Amino acid sequence: MSSPFPPPKQTSGKIILLAQATAKPGKADEVETLLKACRAAAENDEKDTLTYRTTRGVEGDSDKFAVWEEYVLPNGLTDHVANKPFQALAAADLLTSLDIQYFNEFQ
């Protein structure tokens, strides 16, 4: 299955992705549960996923999520969006918004 968001223009090396999402009213706990499954798959089953950090807003922003992801391209991101937990999240239609940004780390 294809990615629900545009892939980076960069095709090799490492890339960092920041996904920011807002859950539909009353659906934030379901989003968190699905993101936990995505994280477990990323950490245990995806050799080209280097980082997968899941966060949820506090106080009045508990319906907002941010996920920091780091992949080795070209396979890391492709493998991640193909895994069953990610596909379950994408198919669940629980979000009102999703913003994806790509970054390169510098030192």
Residue 68, domain extent: 13-103
Rounded CA-CA distance 80/90 in Å is 12
Q: Which residues contact 15 (CB under 8 A, 6 or more apart)?
A: 8, 70, 71, 73, 76, 77, 102, 103, 104
Q: Does 33 fall in a domain?
A: yes
Q: What's the total number of domains in the chain? A: 1
pLDDT value, residue 2 = 53
Query: What confidence tens digit (pLDDT) does each residue in 28-42 have?
Result: 999 999 999 999 999
Phi, psi of 29 (to 5 degrees): -65, -35
- What residue ranges of the chain have pLDDT lower than 70? 1-3
pLDDT value, residue 6 = 81
Q: Does 3 fall in a domain?
A: no
CATH code: domain of residue 74: 3.30.70.100
pLDDT value, residue 1 = 44
Would you say 46 and 80 are in contact if contact means Cβ atoms under 8 Å apart? yes
